[in-house]
Structure 1
């Protein structure tokens, strides 16, 4: 088959030598240097002017209007989210206020299902104390006593008490899954908690351990604790176990644990990430005890907070005792911060506050309780990037001032990871846009790779 691409094909006599001619490379639409500059500018533009979380419509209010006005006055000037819901709770009742309108057009009400995230961990703390009182487990039980699959492993030696206080040495997620969590959660905005309980246990057998006895926040550790308690009680699932021991006694009829996206409750509001993009809701039965896929309404969380205030919550007050030093945010030791069985304790303006926060792909939440004053605050914010929920809860409990900024301090290692990701994103965009700007020709394998890389980078940046 002839490969001559000249306009006029003609043969040459055998005796005549044809001098090879240099291949003629198609000219680009723009000079190479201009393409490179254009690509860099476009890459930076994508990162700089991409979508951002919108500000809440403060004219859209549900519930207690006076409380809503107080909340609005306490919000930081740079706070960005579509909406927020706050409940101020006493043993006699509660005031609820919703501000803003979701992308779906829904308003935030006291009956709206929203993700509570890691506030769920306080359920585990209460259930551990309840199981101890029932004689089903001991605080000093090694994890392998109830999960024999972990016998002979470092993780199996950790006690239930160490798991509940984040001092087991078990990492936050299985060490072999770190890159997958970054890719799915941080870059693609997808639910990273996809493993079932058996898969989590198998990965725990070979995971790299931290230093036992030192505080290190662990979703994996709490998930294993929940499974251990479930087995000790002989329950079919952690969902049925939590429902029987906690939700049903407290009348929390609208608190739901999901194993997949299809189980998200009707009427649920989905939040957004910092760039305005909706993240995929968390789900997965293996990580339900840690807070993945747990939805509740402000009214249900009011019942829970009231039970804590009155001492009628299953497990009683023992889990809430401040016993060990802790960190709320990795790398930041807060003055007076301690942990009990999953509950944190801190002293703010003379008020001793117990509580816990939650972060999902779509929400940041916070439950704060001042038992001495008989008051609690539950906050839902439908974005997942700042400390507004915790700051607002503390301000409402202590009559404090509004936070000057919604931004959280960023640990050095997280800042470094973000810089590296940003550099590679820009490089991928530059390479892809440069090859796309070249004159049309049969694409080389390298060009195809560059374009695919640019597409993935655009998805990450967006």
Structure 2
């Protein structure tokens, strides 16, 4: 559900760099980027997308396709907003790591200690579920709770609430024993976000914006849009090109409610690699630490909601987001100090293109 480009209408948005300077600084060019993603917008498969790169030389973003419905509309750019779906989980993992660093909880604590009394009783299968189980998708909780009120497949999370989530937990059953099997769970991520917000006496959006976005000056990472941001928000498209509604993720915000821009996500990626000075770096490294292996995918490990791929002893940190009308991915190579962000306003899976783009910014062929 929340799992997780062109020469025509090309625009480049460079932060403090002209295209010529960007090339001299060994950041990928618009032409090289279009070679990887060009057919997607050229063919009409993608309506509009943005690619962003960051490495020690700086950062650059390129937009392709159209930002609006008008065929004469310009390409999206680094400040265009997209749904980012499950990339929100990386924010949830960051908040969890900060809570651990501040001594507010231990990663192995049972979550029942932090929930309202009576939600999880001694006979509940969730009695020994810990934060580590939630963050590594080994809690046994299903992908989605069974009491979602929406019957609209185009907006499946709409109308959910914290009250419904707590009601669900009282009678929830698990897909497998706690801590044993990997099973991707929006329920687990949404629950983690709720508990963390409760721990700080906040709501989830305010928590992330106050403790992550504000220190990093990520001013366009938000759930609720201001009128000015709404004017820069793209419309999502189904695989057939039809415009679809933006998702309303309520009650499970920690699983996938945020919207963001390529510029903000490049800042987040740079901070996670130590390219942006921030006191949040120790918690970021804690969140990236591989904790559980996924046997079905031998190269995959899970940190605190981050996916960590290991190819030949080299780690790559990533998270993708996929909703009814969007695809988004943040892909980091910490060893190369390089990252790529890809945001598009059409549903699908464009991870393969992201890996090719990462090879460009890392300056070497990657697995």
Task: Give the shorter-chain TM-score range.
Answer: 0.7 to 0.9
Which SS does the other structure have where 1:242 is aligned?
Answer: helix
1:324 aligns with 2:292: yes
Deviation for aligned residue 1:262: 9.1
Matched-pair contact (CA < 8 Å) for 1:261–1:283:
no
1:171 paired residue among 142, 146, 157: 142
Corresponding position of 2:323: 360
State the SS of the aligned residue for 2:230. coil
268-277 or 306-315: bigger deviation: 306-315
1:62 aligns with 2:29: no
Is 1:282–2:262 an aligned residue pair? no
Deviates more, 1:353-362 or 1:190-199: 190-199
- Structure 1 residues 26-72: Cα deviation after superposition (integer angstroms, max 9, x where no partner): xxxxxxxxxxxxxxxxxxxxxxxxxxxxxx66310111676332222
Question: Contact 2:158/2:247 (CA < 8 Å) preserved in 1?
Answer: yes
- Structure 1 CA distance for aligned equivalents of residues 156 and 232 of structure 2: 20
Match of 1:394 among 355, 360, 363: 355
Q: Structure 1: any 5+ residue segments left out of the alignment?
A: 1-55, 328-332, 404-462
Work out which of the residue numbers 102, 105, 120 in structure 2 matches 1:151. Answer: 120
CA radius of gyration, larger in? 1
Report 1:208-223 matches (<5 A).
208-211=173-176, 212-213=178-179, 214-223=181-190
- Asked if 1:198 is matched to 2:170, the reply is no
CA displacement at 1:91 relative to structure 2: 4.1
Q: Find the counterpart in structure 1 of residue 195 from structure 2.
A: 228
CA RMSD of aligned residues (A): 2.7
The residue aligned with 1:115 is: 83
Matches within 5 A, 1:26-425: 58-63=7-12, 67-75=29-37, 80-104=45-69, 105-148=73-116, 149-152=118-121, 153-177=124-148, 183-185=151-153, 189-211=154-176, 212-213=178-179, 214-235=181-202, 237-258=203-224, 265-292=230-257, 294-310=258-274, 312=278, 313=280, 315-326=283-294, 333-348=296-311, 351-385=314-348, 387-388=349-350, 390-399=351-360
Separation (CA, whole Å) in 2 of partners of 1:323 and 1:368: 19
In structure 2, distance between residues paired with 1:234 and 1:309: 30
Contact 2:289 2:303 in 1 (8 A): yes
How many residues matched?
Answer: 332
Q: Distance in 1 between matches of 2:365 and 2:290?
A: 26
| Offset, 1:196 | 1.4
CA distances 1:324-381 after superposition (whole Å, capped 9, x unpaired): 1238xxxxx3331111110111135774211100011211111000111100100012
**Cα 1:59–1:191 shift into 2, 3 Å:** same
User: How many angstroms does 1:125 deviate by?
Assistant: 0.9
1 or 2, which has the higher helix percentage? 1
Distance 1:76 1:60 in 2: 11
Secondary structure, aligned partner of 1:169: coil
TM-score by length of 2: 0.83
| Deviations 1:149-187 (CA, angstroms, capped at 9, x unpaired) | 42213235310111011111111111344xx66x522xx
Unaligned runs of 5+ in 2: 14-18, 20-27
CA separation of 1:69 and 1:343: change in aligned 2, threshold 3 A? same
Q: Distance in 1 between matches of 2:127 and 2:354?
A: 37
Q: Residues 255, 206 of structure 1: CA spacing in aligned structure 2 closer, same or farther, 3 A cutoff? A: same
**Partner SS for 2:252:** helix
> Any conservation in 2 of the 1:305–1:369 contact (CA below 8 Å)?
yes
Q: Which structure has more strand as a fraction of its residues?
A: 2
Alpha carbons 1:85, 1:98 under 8 Å: kept: yes
